[in-house]
Amino acid sequence: MHDDHDAHSHDHDHAHGHDHDNLYSDMQARVKALETLLTEKGLIDPAAIDAIVETYETKVGPRNGAHVVAKAWGDADFADWLKRDATAAIASLGYTGRQGEHMRAVFNTAETHNLVVCTLCSCYPWSVLGLPPVWYKAPAYRSRAVIDPRGVLAEFGLTLPEDKKIRVWDSTAELRYLVIPERPEGTEGMDEQALAGLVSRDAMIGTAVAASPESTP
Amino acid sequence: MNGPHDLGGQMGFGPVAPEKNEPYFHAAWEKRALGITISCGAFGAWTIDESRHARENIPPADYLAASYYEIWIRGIDKLLERHGFATREELLSGHALQDGAVPKRVLKADIVPAVLAKGGPCDRPVKTAPLFAVGETVKTKNFNPPTHTRLPRYARARTGVVEAVQGSFVFPDDNAHGKGENPQWLYTIVFDGAEIWGADADPTLTVSIDAWESYLEPA
């Protein structure tokens, strides 16, 4: 039996199929009840949840990816390594792990702009970008990025030249894509840390480009 | 399955709404939802593919109305019940009422950094050589399984070009249903926008997917 409708096939007490609404209308209460249940059963450790949250609030985020980009801008050998084996090159900077096991770096060029989406769920390179923003996981972006990328980019305030090629990467497998934006003009002589400051999360998804030094406070 | 999750090319969801300086979490429960989802995944009772399929099976109206963390919680509820860790009554009451399945592992705080840093690689060796080569023109199959697949509807029965042979990976269509990992070669296939969307497509657009070998046939 396929479980397409298994939420409705159980013999439970709710007569009109409103169990979803009843169960989920208050997510704060719903999730607290679930955590309580799982803790009582010894299945989870609330301190582990704290540790997970702390990791993604303070340790794993888009600064990791910005470091990768800045290093690629300033170090041709590293950029080459990133093209050939992004997983290893990124791991050499200490960024590994969950949802970054199989990395690919895609380089913007004068001819081509890259944009990353997961139309099927919310695949995202956590190890270098952290947790995805809400819009990345929401239907508007997931539905339109593949059919109307210019329209989507305009909603981020990004208008590309009409002849610029756009390549959309739909993350349908376990490969996780990091966009390496083009290095802005006027950044000669800037050190890696200053360069990283020009690289936003969105620039590494492809919904932005790197900031120019003049526009960055 | 042709579920609500398969969103590529659908219309009517309105503009993308990026939030300036977006926080990682918009409510305290979202933090707990993240931690619960990862902690339950650590049981070793189900695969990431099964968990994706559990989310895809949320009824469409519920799926599209839910935030992503709510989708995760709905999926976790289903998995906990299916694998015997909690009963429906326990999920509704929020309290333990009976003994349930025993997980292979309970994620304790002290091993969280190591577990997160290790992740869950899903590349696996295969004995066969890749059937398709870089530069080759291929066609994606037309199929509509009621089960899990990672070939989006918009990319079925389309002609594209193999851009890269990416290695061999666990095959989600089988793994989601407890049929084993059955690894296959994985390819990046690139399509012209017009091949997918027709003559009105953005002429500058190409779209790629990562496709397992059995999704493909010679063009």
For residues B47 and A2, the model is more confident at B47
Q: What tokens were used for B121?
A: 């690689």
Q: Say if residue B139 is exposed, middle or buried (CB neighbours under 10 Å; 0-12, 13-18, 19+).
A: middle
pLDDT for the residue A19: 47
pLDDT digits (tens, 9 = 90+) for A139-189: 999 999 999 999 999 999 999 999 999 999 999 999 999 999 999 999 999
Average pLDDT over residues A103-132: 98
- Chain A CB contacts of B46 under 8 Å are none
Is-catalytic flag, A118? Answer: yes
The pair phi, psi for residue B113, each rounded to 5°, is: -60, -40
CA–CA separation, A139 and B16 (whole Å): 9
Q: What is the pLDDT of residues B93-113, one digit of tens each?
A: 999 999 999 999 999 999 999
CB contact B67 to A (< 8 Å): yes
- Percent of chain A whose predicted confidence (pLDDT) is above 70: 88
Given the residues A9, A121, A143, A212, the one annotated as active site: A121
> What mean pLDDT do residues B187-208 have?
98
CB contact under 8 A, B29 and A174: no
Q: What angle do CA A198, A160, A215 make, to 5 degrees?
A: 30
In the predicted structure, residue B171 carries a pLDDT above the cut 70: yes
The pLDDT confidence band at residue A2, using thresholds 50, 70 and 90, is very low
| Residue A15 predicted with pLDDT over 70 | no
A212 is known as an active-site residue: no
A4 touching chain B per CB within 8 A? yes
Chain B contact present for A50, CB below 8 A: yes
CA of A128: which chain B residue's CA is closest? B117
Check the CA dihedral A175-B104-B46-A8 and report its sign: negative
Chain A residues in contact with B58 by the CB 8 A cut-off are 7
Is residue A153 a contact partner of residue A115, using CB atoms and an 8 Å limit?
Answer: yes
Question: Looking at CA atoms only, how far is residue B143 from chain A in angstroms?
Answer: 16
pLDDT digits (tens, 9 = 90+) for B68-77: 999 999 999 9
Q: How many CB atoms are located within 10 Å of the residue A130 CB?
A: 23
Residue A22 pLDDT class (50, 70, 90 cuts): low
Looking at the partner chain, which of A31, A55, A134 has a beta carbon nearest the beta carbon of B112? A55
pLDDT of residue A215: 73
Residue B144 has pLDDT above 90, yes or no: yes
pLDDT in tens, B111-122: 999 999 999 999
Tell me the average pLDDT across B161-181: 98
Q: What percent of chain B has pLDDT over 90?
A: 99
Instruction: Give CA–CA dist A158/B104, Å, rounded.
Output: 48
pTM: 0.94
Q: Which of B76, B89, B91, B1 is nearest to B45 (CA)?
A: B76
| Residues A50-77: tens digit of each pLDDT | 999 999 999 999 999 999 999 999 999 9
- Among residues A9, A25, A92, A123, the one annotated as catalytic is A123
Give the model's pLDDT for residue A126.
Answer: 96
pLDDT of residue A24: 76
CA A40 to chain centre: 33
Check CB contact of B195 with chain A, cutoff 8 Å. no
**What per-residue confidence (pLDDT) applies to A217?**
54
Q: What's the pLDDT at A121?
A: 97
Nearest-CA neighbor of A104 among A195, A171, A196, A182?
Answer: A171
pLDDT recorded at residue A171: 98
Assess whether A200 carries a catalytic annotation: no
**Rounded Cα–Cα distance for residues A31 and A27 (Å):** 6
Q: What is the pLDDT of residue A17?
A: 42
The yes-or-no answer on residue A121 being catalytic is yes
Chain A residues in contact with B213 (beta carbon < 8 A) = none
Q: A185 CA to chain B: closest CA distance, Å?
A: 25
Residue to substitute from B204, B212, B213, B216, interface A, most A β-carbons within 10 A: B204
